[in-house]
Amino acid sequence: VRGPSCARMFSDYLSESKEDSGIKNIMVLERGFNGWEISGQPVCHCKDAPCKGTCS
């Protein structure tokens, strides 16, 4: 799951959480996941919501 669908799932997860995560904004990347990774930014690969994968 990527893009707006992933952002929506994450937002839903945060709204259901009993603790304040401190996250105020969730953004969808303009060039998407691949563009972010190609630009050298850190990337987490995961299949679960919330992400429990490892960052590279």
Q: Rounded to 5 degrees, what are φ and ψ at 27?
A: -115, 145
pLDDT in tens, 1-56: 667 888 888 889 889 988 888 888 887 776 777 887 888 877 766 666 666 655 54
Q: Structural domain of residue 18, as residue ranges? A: 3-55
Number of domains in the chain: 1
What per-residue confidence (pLDDT) applies to 45? 67
4 and 28 Cβ atoms separated by less than 8 Å: yes
What per-residue confidence (pLDDT) applies to 26? 83
Single-letter code of the amino acid located at 14 = L
The sign of the torsion formed by the CA atoms of 20, 45, 39, 26 equals: negative
What per-residue confidence (pLDDT) applies to 52? 60
What per-residue confidence (pLDDT) applies to 1? 67
